[in-house]
């Protein structure tokens, strides 16, 4: 029986796990970093928590006799992806990166592309006074000293750190509709969006809503992916698994 480790935390990872769960000669394990409190995965095939860097992940792959690794982490989980690439090489097993396609810019989009969250924060003074911030709860410190800007912050998990001086926090999980996102932006008088170029359909509605309202979008660009094979869809990942009889 082939043992597959899926590094998860994304909708694609859950879809992949669902697809391979019916394969008779494959046993899949889903690993979460632990930030998502309710991943909605069968506990029997769920692993929580970090591995302890490259050495820890390499040991896990060997100790658990993992045959194949698919990295389906978030496009911005660059460190984890690099560790997965190195650990799989050390363990001598094939590794695939499942990386959703990036969003394509529409001619009417007003994107301001920046390289990281710190640069995004630097671009806001003079650009906007009321900002919809959807970068996740780990990067809020970069905005904490912008005292003249009001932030609407949306995260999946509760925020347990210092917030910007003027902020309203809401918790919600996609998918979101463009209609509802437009209504949200209007309700809070938002005049700019800050987000990561995550790609995918689940959170694209906010980008479409900003375009519909002619709002600027400070778009944080993705980090470079790791070397090695990369596919954009779950179907492509399944085809990769089947090739060379990696799995039945």
pLDDT band at 43 (very low <50, low <70, confident <90, very high): very low
Residue 35's pLDDT is 53
**φ and ψ at 183, to 5 degrees?**
-60, -40
Tell me the β-bridge partners of 151: 131, 167
Tens of pLDDT, residues 97-141: 999 999 999 999 999 999 999 999 999 999 999 999 999 877 888
Mapping DSSP to helix (H, G, I), strand (E, B) and coil, where does residue 19 land?
A: helix
Residue 163's pLDDT is 72
Residue with tokens 């806001």: 124
Distance CA 136, CA 9 (A): 13
User: 3.30.499.10, 3.30.1780.10, 1.20.1250.20, 3.40.50.720: which CATH number matches 110-220?
Assistant: 3.40.50.720
Tens of pLDDT, residues 164-174: 778 899 888 87
Region(s) of the chain under CATH 3.40.50.720: 2-101+224-245, 110-220
Q: Is the model's pLDDT at 42 over the cut of 80? A: no
Higher-pLDDT residue of 227, 41: 227
Q: Is the model's pLDDT at 19 over the cut of 70? A: yes
Entry pTM: 0.86
Mapping DSSP to helix (H, G, I), strand (E, B) and coil, where does residue 150 land?
A: strand
Q: Is the model's pLDDT at 36 over the cut of 80? A: no
Of 98, 85, 30, 28, whose CA–CA distance to 54 is shortest? 85
CATH 3.40.50.720 fits 2-101+224-245, yes or no: yes
Distance CA 102, CA 35 (A): 23
């Amino acid at each position: 029986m082939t043992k597959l480790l899926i590094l998860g935390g994304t909708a694609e990872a859950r879809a992949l796990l669902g697809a391979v769960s019916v394969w008779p000669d494959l046993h899949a394990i889903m690993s979460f970093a632990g930030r998502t409190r309710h991943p909605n995965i069968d506990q029997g095939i769920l692993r929580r928590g970090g591995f302890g860097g490259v050495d820890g992940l390499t040991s896990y792959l060997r100790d658990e006799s993992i045959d194949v690794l698919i990295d389906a982490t978030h496009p911005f989980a660059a460190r984890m992806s690099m560790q997965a690439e190195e650990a799989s090489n050390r363990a001598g097993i094939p590794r695939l990166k499942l990386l959703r396609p990036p969003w394509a810019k529409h001619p009417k989009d007003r994107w301001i592309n920046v390289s990281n969250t710190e640069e995004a924060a630097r671009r806001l003074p003079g650009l906007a006074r009321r900002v919809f911030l959807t970068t996740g709860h780990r990067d809020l410190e970069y905005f904490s000293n912008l005292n003249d800007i009001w932030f609407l912050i949306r995260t999946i998990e509760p925020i347990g750190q210092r917030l910007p001086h003027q902020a309203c926090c809401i918790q919600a999980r996609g998918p979101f509709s463009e209609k509802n996102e437009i209504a949200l932006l209007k309700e809070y008088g938002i005049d700019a969006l800050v987000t990561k170029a995550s790609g995918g359909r689940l959170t694209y509605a906010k980008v479409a809503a900003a375009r519909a309202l002619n709002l600027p979008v400070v778009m944080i660009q993705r980090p470079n992916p790791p070397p090695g094979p990369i596919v954009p869809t779950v179907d492509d990942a399944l085809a990769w698994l089947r090739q060379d009889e990696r799995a039945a």
